[in-house]
Chain A
Amino acid sequence: MTDPRKIEVFSPETLSAAVQVLAEVGSEAHILAGGTDLMVALEKGFWQPKGFVLNISRIEPELRYIRMEDGDVCMGALTTFADIARSDLLNTEAPSLVAAAREIGAQQIQNRATIGGNIMNASPAGDSMPPLLALDARVVLKSNEGPRTLPLFSFYPAYRETVSQPSELLTEVRIARRDSPTQDYFRKVAPRRAQAISKVILAARAWNVEETEEGPRIGSIRLGVGSVAPTPLRLFETERLLEKAVLTPSLMGAAGHMLETEISPIDDMRSTAEYRRQVCRRLLDDFLSNLLLES
């Protein structure tokens, strides 16, 4: 363990100062937001800071907000899960994200843990990413060359890696405001009801569900999963199978089958591959059955 007293900490007051630091010595900077991942990693010796810590929590005025902008719901990177849980806008626009926020750690953690930290920590078990994937979220990265916006589904190339560069800071997460009613789903399967690392997560959104004679027809669907692959994952193939098709038991079976080919769960000390695979499938079934019932 590195002696925390010996770690150099730099705490800029403005976003532009932070980005400037990253431009100059980004590869030596360890960004610290709420610290709920980093401090644990420090104690366990997983994180051994070699350079210095760039503490961004003082830029709160610029990075902690939930607001509408150009038809998007925008969250600053320093938005906490407590903020998300309390937000009327998000309760309406992103119920699955709100559900995830309410289940992250427990109240104390929700007060400190930021959405930016959750995304950047890049854990396959991070709870906010499946709903964000199901909500078609985009992330905004900022360097002193300007911002770039990219979809979250293209953000995780490999286990615990992101495409973000050392010169970049994650500043914002954006979700398009819905233009028609949606059906949303979030379920975290974990070994206990609070302070728990997920074993399987499924978040889903469906909209333009049409009644037909044979059954409901899903216009659009998004599926995000966690803890069943090296990275948070969007299930494009399963979505494709379900979109514009009439929901029948055989289609549900085929979708479950497709889901199994897209995920790659493992056996570890937290669960078994078999349990994760089957339960992930059953969660999809649960969501689709709800659609059937509601129609």
Chain B
Amino acid sequence: MNPKIVGTRVPRDDGRQKVTGESLYVDDIDIPGMIYGTTVRSPVASAKVVSVDWDEGYDWTGIVRVTAKDIPGENSLPLLIDDQKILADRRILHMHEPIALLACSDPTRLREARGHVRLRYKSQPMVSQIEDSLEAEVKVFGADNVFKDIQISKGDPATILPKCHHRLEESYITGHQEHLYLEPQGMIGAWQDGVLTLTGSLQCPYYVHKAMKAVFGLKDDEVRVNQAVTGGGFGGKEEYPSLLAAHVALLARKSGTPVKMVYERAEDMCATTKRHPSEVTIHGGVDEDGHLLALDVDVVLDGGAYCTLSPVVLSRAVLHAISAYRCDHVAVRGRVVATNTPPNGAFRGFGAPQTIFAMERMMDLIAETVGISPAEVRCRNHLQNGDSTATGQILQQGVSAGAVLQKALDASDFHSKWEAYQGSHSNRNRRGIGIALFMHGCGFTGHGERDLKSRAALRLFLDPQGKPRAQVLASTTDIGQGMRTTFRQIAAETLGIAFEQVELAPANTAGVPNSGPTVASRTCMVVGGLVAEAGKGCLQELGFSGTTSEVELAAALASTGAVTCEREYEPPPGLVWDDKNYRGSAYPTYGFGCTICEVEVDAVTFETRILDVVTCQDVGRAIHPSIVEGQIEGGTVQALGFAGFEKVVMHDGTMRNHDVSNYVIPTAADIAPIRVLIHEEPYSGGPFGAKGIGEMPMDGGAPAYVAAVSQAAGVSFQQVPILAEDVFAELLKKKAVKRS
């Protein structure tokens, strides 16, 4: 079959509404009688709560007040280990932790009233960073501050490492990163006849559904979660919206009216999750030609004050620690630890960008030590079909590391540029070029997908004009990444009808089955796959073995009536995962990518300018090339932001630069046009061969950028972000510039 719709650039499903302003975001939605809510937050990072009182001199008429005492059941937010409080009651573990909630019909009064809540507390010592947390003198979590400890081992690195021709050791550091989705967090909650309805800016309706059932002791049909049009998520709206949902639901319950809460930008930046900072130390052993023989990797992530999804983030971090390379003797240890900073959580890439950054810089160090180019060291070590990963997963087919590497090298003219920039250290502006090779596991880790049992359905029916139409029923959400369009393409192609004849049911827990969360680069590959399977099921029910003409389809529907087919995910055969020992198939398949970045460092000001970015990424099959390119470009920009712009200035447990003028994300003017090369190595388990692409672009930008800046500046950097100040300070240290 030759696809007609898959692989084409049909107009985006939500494009028109978004461009014309028709799309309704949470802030645009009004419900009769609705009032506004706000959160009173802790001004301290670590404390014992003495009391929460209301200023008696203040006129509280018309203001609804909620504290932890108003929580009907347990004061905990159900997630992995339920350690996070809905509202702090006895202990405060981080700055801006929610303490009380207020609601009022006048939003301005609300801001004022926030200043009249009296919190009395006793300050406690705080843990502000990884080192202090590991010392565990002050305990934020459990006996040792460790949320999760994971080990992977393969072969015998302890014996092999000391015998290697070259032994290398280096530590790498990455900082926080803020999602900075365009639309801040927002949620509306309303109770009617015992049913709680939530409408929010969110990625995972069923996460909120599950959490609210637990918090308020409700049954399945007593909670309804609608996704409003969502202005970006990047993981920031994966787990966090459950907290917001609990807050508006508490306020709505007490006030008896619908309550809307939309975070202010500063509040969103201060209080919500960020990317986990990391410290990764790698001991590497190679032979004289730079072939990897043994690797010992130690990963520590800063989880912040509560566990959130940190263990899962850590899992992906350690599973990507060896990245796209072959190595027979490997030890990886990962820990995620608690600090008195706002909890870190899901963020595009989910731990992988941190460890891949470290591994890629290690590869550069190996190249330098052995005396070969960064391209050559990657050519010698990348995974190939038949190789095994750190967990012993044998990659039988579809390993495209070599192909994407070669395409990116050719398109960027890497070899000659790298040669030219080596050692050309005049006083003028200096250039450098850097490369990163990487891979990203698609879908949930290990048994995650099997346990999720995700479902999606298709309904095929005749419209009043007698034309066949289909409706996709799935709870994954479009958060700007283009899911609505891709799902329509997949359904239309499978059913053999036009794109225009397919629509999507609203992402509402009352109307669509649980398709699992919109995360982990799984939406198109896993849930899109279910949509395709459901499509085939519909045709079968109508007696067709494949697509047919519209006339025949209409005739069959006319006689049978509408058909609905639901499919549940089944892992591909042979996928075995041992979660206790971290052995086996960590992911059903992997995407591979290579990013090359060329920069110039200003000789006067040490500012870096990006001159060129080439990236080649294997998506299995590009269902919609423009959408795939958009994901790759956007993810690469976000990665370059992580690398060279975005510095969360965390001080005394709070983000100091909590505004868009001081937390600097790159603008279009800062990024050279990104040259995207799509590589297609089809995955048999994905719809039309598609793999995931949501997160992988986040993996390569930082190491490529840092390598380029290192070459240009003539000093090697092992951390992100690197700002002009860092280049300057490092050059001063190395006496490569004079302090006059």
Contact = CB atoms under 8 A, between A and B. Distances in A.
B266 A194 contact: no
Given A106-B667, A192-B664, A269-B657, A2 B108 contact: yes
Given A3-B108, A193-B669, A278 B740 contact: yes
Interface stretch (A152-160, A211-219, A280-288): A280-288
B739 interface: yes
B644 to A, nearest CB: 10
Interface in B636-659: 645, 649, 656-657, 659
A44 to B, nearest CB: 7
Contacts of A187: 604-605
Interface in A256-280: 256-257, 260, 269-272, 274-275, 278-279
A200 B649 CA distance: 20
Interface in A126-140: none
A253 interface: yes
A1 interface: yes
Interface in B656-684: 656-657, 659, 661-662, 664, 666-670
Residue of A191, A196, A271 with highest tally of chain B CB at under 10 A: A191
Contacts of B725: 271-272, 275
B667 A279 contact: no
B667 A192 contact: yes
A282 B604 contact: yes
Given A192-B667, A269-B662, 15 more contacts: A3-B107, A106-B667, A187-B605, A192-B666, A193-B669, A256-B740, A257-B740, A260-B740, A269-B649, A275-B729, A278-B739, A278-B740, A279-B728, A281-B740, A285-B604
A256 B48 CA distance: 53
Given A44-B266, A256-B740, A283-B605, A270 B662 contact: yes
Interface in A181-219: 187, 189, 191-197, 199-200
Contacts of A196: 664
Contact of A191 (B106, B664, B669): B664
Contacts of A45: 111
A193 B266 contact: no
Contact of A282 (B266, B605, B659, B662): B605
Contact of B659 (A44, A193, A257): A44
A5 to B, nearest CB: 9
B723 interface: yes
Interface majority SS (helix, strand, loop, mixed), chain B: loop
Nearest to A6: B108
A253 B739 CA distance: 12
B606 interface: yes
Contacts of B656: 269
B449 interface: no
B222 interface: no
A290 to B, nearest CB: 11
Given A44-B266, A270-B662, A191 B657 contact: no
Given A3-B108, A44-B659, A257-B740, A275 B266 contact: no
Q: Which interface residue of A6, A194, A197, A269 has the most chain B CB atoms within 10 A? A: A269
Nearest to A188: B605
21 contacts: A1-B111, A3-B107, A44-B266, A106-B667, A106-B669, A191-B664, A192-B645, A192-B664, A192-B666, A192-B670, A194-B667, A196-B664, A269-B656, A269-B662, A272-B725, A274-B728, A278-B728, A279-B604, A281-B740, A283-B604, A285-B604
B554 interface: no
Given A1-B108, A275-B725, A194 B659 contact: no
A286 B606 CA distance: 13
Contacts of A6: 108
A282 B607 CA distance: 13
A45 B267 CA distance: 13
A271 B662 CA distance: 10
B364 to A, nearest CB: 26
A194 B111 contact: no
B312 interface: no
B542 interface: no
A231 B157 CA distance: 60
Chain B CB within 10 Å, residue with most, of A2, A3, A281: A3
Interface residues of B, number: 29
Which label, helix, strand, loop or mixed, suits the secondary structure of the A interface? Answer: mixed
Nearest to B606: A279
B10 interface: no
Contacts of A191: 645, 664, 723-724
Contacts of B605: 187, 189, 200, 279, 282-283
A197 B667 contact: no
Interface string B699-740: 000000000000000000000000111001100000000011
Interface string A138-157: 00000000000000000000
A6 B109 CA distance: 12
B667 A275 contact: no
Contacts of B657: 269-270
A271 B670 CA distance: 19
A230 B606 CA distance: 24
A246 B728 CA distance: 30
Contacts of B669: 106, 192-194
Closest 3 pairs (CB-CB, A-B)? A3-B108, A193-B669, A191-B664
Nearest to A279: B605
Interface string B599-617: 0000011110000000000
Contacts of B729: 272, 274-275
Interface string B182-221: 0000000000000000000000000000000000000000
Contacts of A3: 106-108
Interface string B418-453: 000000000000000000000000000000000000
A197 B607 CA distance: 14
A286 B428 CA distance: 11
Contacts of B649: 269
Nearest to B665: A192
A195 B662 CA distance: 10
Nearest to A272: B725
Of B649, B668, B723, chain A has the most CB atoms within 10 Å of the CB of: B723
A293 to B, nearest CB: 13
Nearest to A40: B661
A194 B728 CA distance: 22
A179 B605 CA distance: 33
Nearest to A3: B108
A287 B659 CA distance: 34
A197 B111 contact: no
A211 to B, nearest CB: 25
A134 to B, nearest CB: 18
A195 B657 CA distance: 15
Interface string A86-115: 000000000000000000001000000000
A21 B354 CA distance: 60
Nearest to B723: A191
Contacts of A282: 604-605
Nearest to A285: B604
A192 B729 CA distance: 19
Contacts of A194: 667-670
A32 B724 CA distance: 36
Contacts of B604: 187, 279, 282-283, 285-286
A200 B656 CA distance: 21
